[in-house]
């Protein structure tokens, strides 16, 4: 088992990529804590427990720094350490620049960027004290390629790459690796609502001719969160079927 007895915190764990990652990590022996604002996480963890996995759920908004800190302290009471942080929570509020509202801008910045900052700032001191940790955050291939109608989303995902490189420099001395993943089009609830013409165009842009599955990203998270990647830090791993070239 590649994550045997590791304590792994996954944000946005109730659905899609987060859920797939939780299952993958649990199968590899990790004790998994899911955070999400969607109480579906209770149902998800219940299913995992029936399968014999040690998975717990906490309703946490990553946008609330105080709430994040309290939830981190609860993990410490339960397990005494945090080995892995997967900053996976994210939202979209797509609109072209000339139509985007201040609220739509603020919502995406708050979850996708400030949320990553809040969680990492809360967990990093713990990893520093234990001289061990793996932090992996969700960027996107649109951070590299751009995407029509996603000023707010692309801004956050580009910033994640930059923050990853800074944190790799700052935290490396404490045996903490910091990386991010840039998924392409993945079949999730978030992408299912996209217009059909956009879906068709996205397929045309992918050399492999198919969308990815949540499990494809979970596998990437697994590698970067495991000790197999103990000498990998400060990178952005693109997983998009060759769309970014």
Percentage with pLDDT > 90 across the chain: 92
Q: State the chain's mean pLDDT as an integer.
A: 96
Per-residue pLDDT of 84-98, as tens digits, reads: 999 999 999 999 999
Could you tell me the pLDDT band of residue 69, with boundaries at 50, 70 and 90? very high
51 CB-contact burial (10 Å; exposed 0-12 / middle 13-18 / buried 19+): exposed
E-assigned strands of the chain?
Answer: 7-11, 31-36, 55-59, 84-87, 133-138, 176-183, 236-239
**Active-site residue numbers?**
153
Q: Which CATH superfamily is domain 7-239 in?
A: NAD(P)-binding Rossmann-like Domain (3.40.50.720)
Confidence at residue 192, expressed as pLDDT on a 0 to 100 scale: 74
Q: What is the mean pLDDT of residues 78-87?
A: 98
Q: What is the pTM of this model?
A: 0.96
| 191, pLDDT greater than 90 | no
What is the structure's pLDDT at 137? 98
Res 188: pLDDT: 80
Please give the Cα distance from 112 to 89 (Å, whole number). 7
For residues 157-180, average pLDDT:
98
What's the pLDDT band for 14 if we cut at 50, 70, 90?
very high
The residue extents of the domains of the chain are: 7-239
């Amino acid at each position: 088992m590649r994550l045997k007895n590791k304590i792994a915190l996954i944000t946005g764990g109730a659905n899609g990529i987060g859920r797939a990652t939780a299952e993958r990590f649990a199968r590899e022996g990790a004790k998994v804590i899911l955070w999400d604002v969607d109480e579906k996480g209770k149902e998800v963890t219940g299913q995992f427990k029936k399968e014999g996995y040690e998975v717990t759920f906490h309703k946490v908004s990553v946008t609330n720094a105080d709430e994040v800190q309290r939830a981190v302290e609860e993990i410490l009471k339960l397990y005494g350490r945090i080995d892995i942080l997967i900053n996976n929570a994210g939202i979209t509020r797509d609109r072209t620049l000339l139509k985007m509202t201040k609220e739509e801008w603020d919502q995406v910045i708050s979850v996708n960027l400030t949320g990553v900052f809040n969680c990492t700032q809360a967990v990093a001191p713990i990893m520093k004290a234990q001289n061990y940790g793996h932090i992996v955050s969700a960027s996107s291939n649109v951070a590299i390629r751009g995407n029509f109608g996603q000023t707010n989303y692309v801004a956050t995902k580009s910033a994640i790459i930059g923050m990853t490189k800074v944190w790799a420099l700052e935290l490396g001395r404490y045996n903490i690796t910091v990386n991010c993943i840039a998924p392409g089009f993945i079949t999730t609830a978030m992408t299912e609502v996209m217009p059909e013409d956009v879906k068709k165009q996205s397929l045309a842009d992918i050399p492999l001719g198919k969308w990815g599955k949540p499990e494809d990203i979970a596998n990437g998270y697994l590698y970067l969160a495991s000790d197999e990647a103990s000498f990998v830090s400060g990178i952005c791993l693109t997983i998009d079927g060759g769309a970014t070239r």
